A and B are shown apart, each in its own frame.
Chain A
Amino acid sequence: MTPAPEHLVIAPILIPFFAGALMLLYGDDRQRKARLILSFGSAIALLLVALGLLGRASQSPAAEGGAMGFYLLGDWASPFGIVLVLDRLSAMMLLLLAVLALPALTYSLAGWQRQGTHFHALFQFLLMGLNGAFLTGDLFNLFVFFEVLLAASYGLLLHGSGAFRVGAGLHYIAVNLTASLMFLIGVSLIYGVTGTLNMAHLAGLIPTLSEADRPLLHAGAAILALAFLVKAGMWPLSFWLPTAYSAGAPPVAAIFAVMTKVGVYAVLRLSMLMFGPGAGPSLGVGAEVLIAGGMLTMLFGLLGVLGTQALGRMAGHLVLVSSGTVLAVIGFTLAGGGNAMLAGGLYYLVASTLASSALFLLIEPLSREDGDIAAMLALTADAYGIADPLEDEDAATGLAIPGSLATLAVGFGGCLLVLAGMPPLAGFVGKLAILSGLLSGGGLSVPQDWAWTFLALLLLSGLATLIGLVRVGVQVFWTSDLAAQKIWALEVGPPAALLLLAAAMTVRSEDVLGYMDATSRALHSPPVYTTGVSLAPRVTDGAEATE
């Protein structure tokens, strides 16, 4: 028998899976409480598990794979079966997701959860798909988890219904179905060339490929990357994103803020494994595309921020700016940008995800016309024939926050500071780390001009964010009389918690950056990952030895 802690690695997949499946049994509207308990129980358990896994992953010295977690599903030996891999990067993403899930769920209590029966179940399946995608070490398994999270996200995007959502959902689903087909072509092409689906095994095989096979592998990787880049919203694959994100219900949009990051994660993981150091002749393939695409995404995003009026679309473009920045950083890293830059990029990724998630949660209280969520809900309940307006009354009970305007303004200001990268909050630290990494790390395989362009774009995108958000802030807080409206603690608490986390990241930025630096160094030495996976011990090996 293996001791229980070994099995903790698969817990982030199993917990939401069982919670979601159990919730389907409580489909009745009267059993709302049971669903709530399951939902929050699962989210809290996920947070604890993610903390535990992070603690375990960060124990290992960065240069050694010793404490990386491996989990052989079905106890099949490593290159043949599916393996789950826990390293610093995946532990970080798990924690980020768990941290975002709890506030989004809390926010949904203020009313959104009532708009459809299966909100909580879909939410759990989305968490399962995301966790699985972060953990898996197998290409086809990655596809399956992508489909799980996409199927759940289709349902969640439509949550609340209405013509606008259904229209945006239609486009979103069409784009993502096509991207999934690309994913399949890429995976099967890679399998056809190398004969393996295991990421670690694949990374080991790449330097030994024959010259005739190499272009095919690169084509396969490019098609695969297309699927990830659609998720990450790289220009010109990103036109669906602002509409879809602004159409989603606020708690859904808040958790969607991490959905672009799953694309970024997959690009980072696979490009560092396949084309990172030790890839032989394939070193740095795709770096130029990532840099150019990332910078164009930033440009598109910042023009979008300046050009939009609605806060929802603006937040969507801010998500684009953030993922474009990280994509460009990954490109520079592939081109030999060095540790420090990637560490800064990861720090920025976490900080900007927290802030954009908080911004999505703030949009609704800010743009509410009649000032009362109960009124709005009664209206929609009428329109869709949900016949319990009386029970909904207790929805909007709870604490009404005094000085609503000031509270919202402080929250909005916090988002602005992080997203624009102004001191003293976390966005500034992230951008500073990226810039200092960029300036100090020589030896880029791309022209130095690219680095200067990126620097200019990074500063410009901060400026554009500042202008765009300040303009909205002036409209909302100074030129309209919002003072009369009420907001509820359930609506302000979650974004406040997210912003406090971003602030905590700033205060402890040395520790966080240290962790990111170790993550980045581990990513720069793929052999750690590869040998770790191929040597992952089977449970039965020990048993056979003792027989």
Chain B
Amino acid sequence: MEIVLSAAIGVLAASGAWLLMRPRSFQVIVGLCLLSYAVNLFIFAMGRLTVGAPAIMPKRGFVNPDAYADPIPQALVLTAIVISFATTALFLVVMIAARGFTGSDHVDGQERAP
């Protein structure tokens, strides 16, 4: 399971980073999305991988922490998803505005001279 997850994170991060360097604004925003997926999976993995373990412990009595998943990374991922969703939406708006102003979807607003 570890190797699958780490490979997934690696592929997402690598393709995200590559797209981020591209000159089209659409590629940049897709790259940012992929990177944020990679980061979210990474945060999740930092709570160690468990199968079938609940994250919420019962209220009273002794509980064995080994039988439960770490709830903090899950809470962090939730926050990170919400924030990156909102900022990506905002970025999209700015991109559309830039497209309107410059008439080009190049990130610099004009094509590089060949």
Q: Which residues from chain A sit less than 8 Å from chain B, CB to CB?
A: 140, 144, 147, 150-151, 154, 158, 161-163, 166-167, 169-171, 173-174, 177-178, 180-181, 184-185, 187-189, 191-192, 197
B46 to chain A, nearest CB (A): 4
Q: Quick check: A191 and B46 within 8 Å, CB to CB?
A: yes
A240 to chain B, nearest CB (A): 12
Question: Which residues of B lie under 8 Å from residue A173 when comparing CB positions?
Answer: 87, 90-91, 94
Contact residue among A178, A188, A191 (Cβ-Cβ distance under 8 Å from B32):
A178
Question: Which residues of B lie under 8 Å from residue A163 when comparing CB positions?
Answer: 98, 101-102, 109
B80 at the binding interface (Cβ < 8 Å)? yes
List 26 interface pairs A-B (beta carbons < 8 Å), by A numbering.
Answer: A140-B76, A147-B83, A147-B87, A151-B90, A154-B90, A154-B94, A163-B98, A167-B98, A167-B102, A169-B98, A170-B94, A170-B95, A170-B98, A173-B91, A174-B28, A177-B88, A178-B20, A181-B32, A181-B84, A184-B43, A187-B76, A188-B73, A191-B46, A191-B73, A192-B47, A192-B48
Q: Quick check: B97 and A166 within 8 Å, CB to CB?
A: yes
Contact residue among B20, B25, B76 (Cβ-Cβ distance under 8 Å from A170):
B25
User: Which residue of A is nearest B91, CB measured?
Assistant: A173
Contact residue among B32, B48, B79, B88 (Cβ-Cβ distance under 8 Å from A144):
B79
Question: Which residues of A lie under 8 Å from residue B8 when comparing CB positions?
Answer: none
When each residue 88-109 of chain B gets 1 if its CB lies under 8 Å from chain A and 0 otherwise, what string results?
1011001101100110000111
- Complexed CA–CA distance, A171 and B20 (Å): 11
B99 to chain A, nearest CB (A): 9
Q: Which residues from chain B sit less than 8 Å from chain A, CB to CB?
A: 20, 25, 28, 32, 35-36, 39, 42-43, 45-48, 72-73, 76, 79-80, 83-84, 86-88, 90-91, 94-95, 97-98, 101-102, 107-109
Question: Which residues of B lie under 8 Å from residue A191 when comparing CB positions?
Answer: 46, 72-73, 76
Given A177-B91, A191-B72, decide whether A171 and B107 contact each other with a Cβ distance below 8 A: yes
- Complexed CA–CA distance, A402 and B94 (Å): 42
User: Which residue of A is nearest B100, CB measured?
Assistant: A166
Contact residue among A144, A178, A188 (Cβ-Cβ distance under 8 Å from B42):
A188
Given A178-B20, A181-B36, decide whether A167 and B73 contact each other with a Cβ distance below 8 A: no
- From A178, A188, A189, residue with most partner B Cβ within 10 Å: A188
Question: Which residues of A lie under 8 Å from residue B95 when comparing CB positions?
Answer: 170
Q: Quick check: A188 and B76 within 8 Å, CB to CB?
A: yes
Question: Which residues of B lie under 8 Å from residue A174 when comparing CB positions?
Answer: 20, 28, 32, 91, 107
- Complexed CA–CA distance, A97 and B113 (Å): 44
Q: Quick check: A188 and B43 within 8 Å, CB to CB?
A: yes
Question: Which residues of B lie under 8 Å from residue A147 when comparing CB positions?
Answer: 83, 87
Q: Quick check: B107 and A170 within 8 Å, CB to CB?
A: yes
- Complexed CA–CA distance, A399 and B109 (Å): 41
- Complexed CA–CA distance, A440 and B32 (Å): 48
- Complexed CA–CA distance, A167 and B94 (Å): 9
User: Which residue of B is nearest A176, CB measured?
Assistant: B87
**Extra pairs beyond A174-B28, A192-B45 (15, CB < 8 Å):** A169-B98, A170-B94, A173-B87, A174-B32, A174-B107, A177-B84, A177-B91, A178-B20, A178-B35, A180-B83, A180-B87, A181-B84, A184-B80, A188-B46, A197-B72
- Complexed CA–CA distance, A158 and B91 (Å): 12
User: Which residue of B is nearest A172, CB measured?
Assistant: B94
Q: Quick check: A166 and B73 within 8 Å, CB to CB?
A: no
- From B43, B48, B108, residue with most partner A Cβ within 10 Å: B43
Question: Which residues of A lie under 8 Å from residue B35 when comparing CB positions?
Answer: 178, 181
Question: Which residues of B lie under 8 Å from residue A170 when comparing CB positions?
Answer: 25, 94-95, 98, 107
Question: Which residues of B lie under 8 Å from residue A189 when comparing CB positions?
Answer: 46
Given A174-B28, A184-B39, decide whether A151 and B97 contact each other with a Cβ distance below 8 A: no
Question: Which residues of A lie under 8 Å from residue B88 when comparing CB positions?
Answer: 177
A179 to chain B, nearest CB (A): 11
- Complexed CA–CA distance, A167 and B99 (Å): 9
- Complexed CA–CA distance, A166 and B101 (Å): 8
B66 to chain A, nearest CB (A): 14
Contact residue among B39, B46, B73, B108 (Cβ-Cβ distance under 8 Å from A181):
B39
User: Which residue of A is nearest B16, CB measured?
Assistant: A181
- Complexed CA–CA distance, A147 and B98 (Å): 22
- Complexed CA–CA distance, A384 and B90 (Å): 21
Question: Which residues of A lie under 8 Å from residue B97 when comparing CB positions?
Answer: 158, 161, 166
Question: Which residues of A lie under 8 Å from residue B84 when comparing CB positions?
Answer: 177, 180-181
- Complexed CA–CA distance, A170 and B39 (Å): 22
- From B36, B48, B73, B76, residue with most partner A Cβ within 10 Å: B76
User: Which residue of A is nearest B110, CB measured?
Assistant: A167
- Complexed CA–CA distance, A162 and B98 (Å): 9
A188 to chain B, nearest CB (A): 4
- Complexed CA–CA distance, A338 and B73 (Å): 38
B63 to chain A, nearest CB (A): 16
- Complexed CA–CA distance, A140 and B46 (Å): 14
- Complexed CA–CA distance, A192 and B20 (Å): 27
- Complexed CA–CA distance, A189 and B47 (Å): 10
- Complexed CA–CA distance, A192 and B91 (Å): 30
- Complexed CA–CA distance, A144 and B82 (Å): 11
A383 to chain B, nearest CB (A): 12
- Complexed CA–CA distance, A154 and B97 (Å): 13
Question: Which residues of B lie under 8 Å from residue A181 when comparing CB positions?
Answer: 32, 35-36, 39, 84
